[in-house]
Structure 1
């Protein structure tokens, strides 16, 4: 095959794999000839171009992955919510019978790798921007923010699919000399989970020195990297709970605190607050938050219908504070086997229908409970209970005691369920703690009957299939077992 044809297929593969618009720059030009497309170390020349890359990075937080899929993936696959809407792709997910041809799964693959590609453009090329207006310190901060964001997206991807490709180069062009490198980036093979976590940790640890302080909640900061480091060490195949405690120690010295009033987290009047570590800015930023309409409103049946189990958990605990902020009941024009039309629940943490909704990626209560989980694993039951009680007391609930490992994990999971419902966390919490099969195979309907599809969940289906379209496009990809 001539190099010119190879170039065409490589670039076409990049478009399909990453879904980026930049590929059209090549496909819309003159026909491919024997002239190789030159790979430049300086495709971006000015400080303004570099800053535009950073805008693209943060505008990616307004993608469909964040507006809808992240929350659906984390809640509708768990005991927090039922599927809600009638989309067959979403129903597959919620009923643990995802097919490799599921459009949502392919969409999320494209989103995550597209967002990773945006990070790679900064990491690969910003250092070479010749414009003196882009200072060395600004370049270092840009790269640190991009590395942290890349770590975040790889962290999401590895939890969804397990072994995944590691793409660290944004392909701008190709020559005969760079063919092998470009091929490995455009048609990558899957790497073991351990390699993925190694890259994530390397990105985060390397980013820390150049990250800014925590004043801007809408940008990546030192606090965001510390929080992610704690989450990653708690989740990787061989968790390091001492590291979780170490990084949450540092996080606790960064000036964060719980808001006294739980509902102020979600009422739209207290954005960028003391509890926020990293937040998507739909209020005055460049992102219009349409995702609210996916979860609330009586014009059609919305996604993430609160489960009977969640509502019962709030009621049994006497937790009216968090229930009121998390679930809204109203009359609607439909009914199902879970709820009557006269009193139908909606997820209520997203409620601003003006497009100005703000969304937490990381908040302090989550990390306090993760720290408690690590302390339980390390045998500090008294210290763990004290952390849980901080979160409970804010909700007006009394203290708990923790008597042992199993008791502690169960109580912390229960607390995380009440505290973090509809924040995209539950599915990943259950997988991290090894409780997914035990809890989710016992999901129930409104009459206390185990859901008919609960038995579909197996250990293999705790991971998603690699999208079939990606396998069709990339001969180096293999499928997860069971699909």
Structure 2
């Protein structure tokens, strides 16, 4: 009887939480939405409703995480950019002094898990659509599964152990009580379990997602590309799997564009090198791309000013093509300890200011360099360097060589720096290759002085804290070490 009473209390608490607000964990949609349909157990009633839900899934790429913070984390937190601008919460990213109360970081958690929940609605309920073909239902499940995998991949890299979200809860009954409770009050799952879920979702995408002809949609080849990166990033990387999935992509008909700048000039969207790109399609579309304004322009000090490390890498390699496509300069009304006001540098890969800016989630050069990393990690130095030189040849610069595994890894890391700058990769590359503390503790300002904030980096700071509001709302969550 006592156990039954406790369950009633928990049930009442959960019901109250759902009735008064969205979930503190996922910020899911309230159970009062579409009340008539939900009263009959129908969430997605027809094809039009299903397509609307699928558009909402892609619309999550217009969130603050994917339009801004993905690049602040991947580049601004690293040594290829000074994070810049004037947001005190964002300064904590660059200074490796993240607080659990950081509002920007809290927003990142919400954006990532809201995206996952939006995917879950499609995955859980698209079979209810009455006039939708079985083929299209499967495609939607494949697309949503890959986007769910991508977001869980972001979460596990940022926070380590983290919740796995697979259920979208709209109402509570005795039949779904456990699922509802677990969604509202999740526990952090071990990294190994999170990666297992990511891999499983990618496999669903390989089976069900559309083919690679539409590069603006989650597709089968994009799932292979994500798996290559996942197997390289997970604890105890499986380099054979990295090569396996990289080879599927490399053999998939993609080619490096002869002109590097065509990747970013907006005249070659969905090009032969693109595997998957987020499609900014104007202000009235699901993704009105606003990210360009965050990185480019002289009207206010922007985020992610190119670093001296990046500029010097291009200069040391005689890399004029990628330099010109990656960095532009202008005279501005400010200066700082990094750059003077004359010829101040800006990130230049995102240039469109009309809401149409695209950005890549996967492209061939990234996969070639991932395969090179796998080959080097297995001791196959010549095969690794041949892949690096394939990328360098497109850039019109001299080939390189390496005489040891460690030297090959350094060569690959620098090549990824120059090839993928301002595409959200550098922070994750440094962590994956075990170089983050070593490299980031040596960052310098414009006068060659070690940045005071560089001394804050340590192993604990390679993961973020769990947001304090999530801890306060859920006693089952625990904090990361060092916070």
Give the aligned partner of residue 229 of structure 2: 231
Query: Which deviates the most, 206-215 or 357-366?
Result: 206-215
Give the aligned partner of residue 157 of structure 2: 159
Measure the CA separation in 2 of the matches of 1:354 and 1:123. Answer: 33
Query: Which deviates the most, 109-118 or 201-210?
Result: 201-210
TM-score by length of 2: 0.95
1:280 to 278, 281, 284: 278
Matches within 5 A, 1:105-184: 105-129=105-129, 131=130, 133-184=131-182
Matches within 5 A, 1:11-30: 12=20, 14-20=22-28, 22-23=29-30, 25=32
Give the aligned partner of residue 436 of structure 1: 436
Offset of 1:60 from its aligned partner?
Answer: 1.2
Measure the CA separation in 2 of the matches of 1:63 and 1:450. Answer: 34
Give the aligned partner of residue 268 of structure 2: 270
Give the aligned partner of residue 4 of structure 2: none
Are 2:337 and 1:337 equivalent residues in the alignment? yes
Offset of 1:281 from its aligned partner?
Answer: 1.1
Contact 1:60 / 1:115 at 8 angstroms: preserved in 2?
Answer: yes
The alignment's C-alpha RMSD in Å is: 1.8
Q: Which runs of 5+ in 2 are unaligned?
A: 1-8
Give the aligned partner of residue 352 of structure 1: 352
Offset of 1:5 from its aligned partner?
Answer: 4.7
Q: Which runs of 5+ in 1 are unaligned?
A: 30-36
Are 2:434 and 1:426 equivalent residues in the alignment? no
Contact 2:441 / 2:455 at 8 angstroms: preserved in 1?
Answer: yes
Contact 1:158 / 1:196 at 8 angstroms: preserved in 2?
Answer: yes
Contact 2:24 / 2:184 at 8 angstroms: preserved in 1?
Answer: no
Offset of 1:254 from its aligned partner?
Answer: 1.2
Contact 1:322 / 1:395 at 8 angstroms: preserved in 2?
Answer: yes
Measure the CA separation in 2 of the matches of 1:314 and 1:445. Answer: 18
Offset of 1:39 from its aligned partner?
Answer: 7.7
Give the aligned partner of residue 315 of structure 1: 315
TM-score by length of 1: 0.95
Offset of 1:3 from its aligned partner?
Answer: 4.4
Offset of 1:175 from its aligned partner?
Answer: 1.4
Contact 2:313 / 2:418 at 8 angstroms: preserved in 1?
Answer: yes
Deviations 1:76-115 (A, max 9, x none): 1100001111110010111100100001110010000000
Distance 1:150 1:272, change over 3 A: same
Distance 1:222 1:106, change over 3 A: same
Contact 1:41 / 1:125 at 8 angstroms: preserved in 2?
Answer: no
Measure the CA separation in 2 of the matches of 1:274 and 1:6. Answer: 50
Measure the CA separation in 2 of the matches of 1:60 and 1:245. Answer: 31
Distance 1:41 1:144, change over 3 A: farther
Q: How many residues align?
A: 473
Give the aligned partner of residue 87 of structure 1: 87
